[in-house]
Chains A and B, each alone.
Chain A
Amino acid sequence: MSATAEHPILDPAKAQPFPVAALPVLKNSQLRKNVAHAIDVIGAKRTRVVLEKTDWQALRASASRIKDEALGNLAAYLEQFEERCTAAGGQVHWAADAADARRIILELLRAEGADEVINIKTMTSGEIQLNPFLEAAGIKAYETDLAEIILQLGEGEPSHIVVPALHVNRGQVRDIFARAMGIPNLCDEPEALTAAARSYLRQKFLTVPAAISGANFLIAETGAVAIVESEGNGRMCLTLPRTMITLVGIEKVLPRFEDLEVMLQLLARSATGERMSPYTSLWTGVTPGDGPQKFHVVLLDNGRSGILRRPKERQTLRCIRCGACMNNCPVYRQTGGHAYGSVYPGPIGAILTPQLEQLKHAQSLPYASSLCGACYEVCPVRINIPEILIDLRAQVTDQERGTAKKFFDPMYVGLRGANVIFARPWLFHAAQWLGRVGLKFFTRKDGWIHALPGVGAKWTETRDLRGLPRQTFHEWWAERAADPSHLSRKDKDAAKVGHPQVSESLGRPGAGAESDEQRADSLILPGKGAK
């Protein structure tokens, strides 16, 4: 697609590290403009409808408690869902990993004799790379979400979880539709483009025998499935075909029917800035005479059960995929979604993808954040994303440190060196002296270092570094005590009392609180004297 310089890869195993993948986007000003415009519009709408909810924080707290309850007893709730859904005429399948899920779905479609299938936005099918797999098996999958049609026809990749084609502007959409649908005189008004998509898909909806959907929520109590959408393509998919397959992550289950009253109030407001999305559908198994008469649910693990293990990381699975975190992320704003190398971009992607990959891939993602905390602030289920990012960074570091490849990495060499130096005061002082002499060469007259060679350049490429002062604090303190002539009389007295203890305490790590207090006093006094 013309929107991106290179074709983005949304497979964590093959994607480039975030800083590399982000480069083409940073150079593409049109793309950045499209992204910024889209998230500004959603952001403003979201703020308006969130502010009118005076009970927003209570809803967030309730939602996170509900999800925690569901995740804490996940096996039991899934079994309950399976039992109720089966009783209502549905069939439940379990997929331990992506290959499992692909195999199950292919078998179901073969049994239906389908060589075409319609999809309603399902991120899970992107996660397991379902479409290319079906294509190879001779089954053509049609995306039905307007944004997904744009991407499918334009051979692009989604860059946002709610508005997947937000990086494509109307002119680009016109070109894609005109070419793929054979309408050369199509204009670029969004109305005309939307109408073109409507007629392009209508026939597919009426004739294709099977549909694959994702799901927003599963209800353990009733065995029901819920989907929230805007366009009606979801309703088409779950009403018209003979067979319906819902592929859903195991973390999507809610205990009770009433839990929806919390989730639905949060989801649409956070996702699109609407009070409710135009269409929210809930169905339970099979209803005679209404909708598909064969209904399958494929429960997908694919790394999720591993995320349950650590209590802190478990929060990740509360996610209801609203996209508020990416709309408010200063990093996503600049890079867009493709750089994250997964169908899950933005802050949630930065914590979800590495965990789903068990840190075998996507190790650069936990660093794709400034830790500003905006994502946590807006998250409707209160996932403390910064906390998890930091934890994952620690895990990545622990993992890397042991590998032979990273042994000679300048950062790890440096840290090992620092470990030795900081433990020995004499070495520390020597290092300070060496640093001062060495860096003098790079320090300009203004006292700043503008450029460093080698590893140091990584810092100075993007910011200046303050040159080391002429004296260390220790030296200054010792000199000051030796020559008290610059102090007032009162300060001299204080220095006499304070100094011996202070210098001792500074030399010894973990000195008592008492001497710390005195140090604080004596540090304030010179200022007073100067008045």
Chain B
Amino acid sequence: MSVVADSRRLVLERIRAATGKSAPERGANADAGLAQGYIRRGELTVRARHERFIERLREYDAEVVECSPEGLPSTIAAVLAASGRRRFVAPPGIPAAWYVEAAWKIEGFECVLDHGLETSEIEQAEGVITGCFCGIAGSGTIVLHHSACEGRRVITLLPDWHLCVVRASQVVETLPEYFEKSREQAAGKEQKVELPRLVTWISGPSATADIEMTRIKGVHGPRFLNVILVRDREQAAGNREQKAGTEGLEDRAQGQ
């Protein structure tokens, strides 16, 4: 134990001797002016933002379909049926409407909700259905905070096929907008700062280019990533405004 404490003291002493600051000096001025000059806010119209999201997802081999909020259950059912898979797993927090229609339409369909499933049970599943916290258009990324609707990390990892439902209003254009959104959400809670404890940014299916730089889909994570983009309120609003000739910033203000 004493050896451990010694190493800690030794390392900290060496660092302080080298940086020339003995007292913890942090806070106020630490953040100011460090990160600046780069693009934080996107400038695309709502529609263009969604188009870019779809385009960038497809560029990295994800399958994307769009649907209206009312059409979501049947779209999910169609995508699940087309996958040729039958055994699915899903986080406990997803709306029942997401899988009821599929259960009705697809013969042999099975969707197990993850109330603390064993790893071996999850391993048996052929696919997984989740929601997400956010989509990032600029890089074609979906972000999971692993809430009740997004599931434990393991369920989006072991099954070979992942279907993620993204509402259009969840899509931001830039990565900094995602961080802003996380911080805002945190500030909304009772505790002053509660940033996400778990985050997984997913950009396309698992991939490698380790053999002769040939991009191969699917090494250990899911080999297939499917995204359903639900045109919810924001997008409808966006479309109307576009028709009226309004663009850019106002669009986004409207959206958030």
- Please list the residues of chain A having a beta carbon within 8 angstroms of any beta carbon in chain B: 34, 37-38, 41-42, 54-55, 58-59, 61-62, 65-66, 69, 71-80, 88, 93-96, 100, 104, 144-147, 150, 163-166, 169-170, 173, 190-191, 193-194, 197-198, 201-202, 205-206, 221-222, 224, 230-233, 235-236, 239-240, 250, 255-262, 264-265, 272, 274-285, 287, 289-291, 299, 301, 305-306, 308-309
Cβ contact within 8 Å between B221 and A206: no
Could you tell me which residues of chain B, from 172 to 231, have a CB within 8 Å of some CB in chain A?
A: 175-176, 178-179, 182-183, 195-214, 216, 218-222
Q: Given the interface contacts A145-B210, A250-B15, does A233 sit within 8 Å of B219 by beta carbon?
A: yes
Q: Given the interface contacts A69-B30, A80-B26, A190-B214, does A58 sit within 8 Å of B203 by beta carbon?
A: no
Contact with A along B25-43 (1 / 0, CB 8 A): 1100011011111110000
Instruction: Beyond the given A62-B36, A258-B179, please list 10 additional residue pairs across the A-B interface where CB-CB is below 8 A.
Output: A69-B34, A72-B21, A75-B21, A96-B7, A146-B211, A190-B216, A255-B34, A279-B202, A282-B198, A287-B197
Q: How far is the CB of A372 from chain B (nearest CB, A)?
A: 24
Cβ contact within 8 Å between A281 and B199: yes
Closest 10 interchain pairs by CB? A232-B221, A58-B37, A308-B18, A232-B220, A231-B219, A305-B14, A275-B139, A76-B24, A41-B213, A276-B203
Q: Given the interface contacts A191-B216, A240-B154, does A232 sit within 8 Å of B21 by beta carbon?
A: no
A172 to B244, CA, bound (A): 61
Cβ contact within 8 Å between B218 and A194: yes
Q: How far is the CB of A196 from chain B (nearest CB, A)?
A: 11
Residues of chain A within 8 A of B31, CB atoms compared: 255-256
Cβ contact within 8 Å between A276 and B37: no
Cβ contact within 8 Å between B14 and A290: no
- Please list the residues of chain B having a beta carbon within 8 angstroms of any beta carbon in chain A: 4, 7-8, 10-12, 14-19, 21, 24-26, 30-31, 33-39, 56, 60, 116, 119-120, 123, 136, 138-141, 146, 152-154, 157, 175-176, 178-179, 182-183, 195-214, 216, 218-222
A279 to B206, CA, bound (A): 7
Residues of chain A within 8 A of B206, CB atoms compared: 230-232, 278-279
A284 to B200, CA, bound (A): 12
Cβ contact within 8 Å between A309 and B18: yes
Q: Which of A170, A278, A290 contacts B153 (CB 8 A)?
A: A290
A287 to B153, CA, bound (A): 11
Q: Which of A38, A96, A164, A281 contacts B212 (CB 8 A)?
A: A38
Q: Which of B15, B183, B200 contacts A279 (CB 8 A)?
A: B200
Q: How far is the CB of A102 from chain B (nearest CB, A)?
A: 13
Q: Given the interface contacts A231-B219, A235-B153, does A59 sit within 8 Å of B197 by beta carbon?
A: no
Q: How far is the CB of B3 from chain A (nearest CB, A)?
A: 8
Residues of chain A within 8 A of B211, CB atoms compared: 146, 150, 165, 169-170, 173, 190, 193-194
Q: How far is the CB of A338 from chain B (nearest CB, A)?
A: 17
Cβ contact within 8 Å between A165 and B7: no
Q: Given the interface contacts A100-B7, A260-B179, does A275 sit within 8 Å of B38 by beta carbon?
A: no
Q: How far is the CB of A276 from chain B (nearest CB, A)?
A: 4
* A66, A96, A194, A240: residue with the most chain B Cβ atoms closer than 10 Å: A194
Q: Given the interface contacts A62-B35, A239-B153, does A74 sit within 8 Å of B19 by beta carbon?
A: yes
Q: Which of B116, B119, B196, B200 contacts A289 (CB 8 A)?
A: B116
Cβ contact within 8 Å between A308 and B15: yes
Residues of chain A within 8 A of B176, CB atoms compared: 258, 261
Closest to A233 in B: B220
Residues of chain B within 8 A of A279, CB atoms compared: 200-203, 206, 221
Residues of chain A within 8 A of B154, CB atoms compared: 239-240, 290-291
Q: Which of B60, B213, B221 contacts A37 (CB 8 A)?
A: B213
Cβ contact within 8 Å between B15 and A78: yes
Q: Given the interface contacts A96-B10, A255-B31, A308-B19, does A55 sit within 8 Å of B202 by beta carbon?
A: no
Closest to B145 in A: A282
Cβ contact within 8 Å between B220 and A305: no
Q: Given the interface contacts A65-B34, A72-B19, A147-B210, does A284 sit within 8 Å of B198 by beta carbon?
A: yes
Residues of chain A within 8 A of B153, CB atoms compared: 235, 239, 281, 290-291
Cβ contact within 8 Å between A170 and B212: yes
Residues of chain A within 8 A of B208, CB atoms compared: 146, 194, 230-231
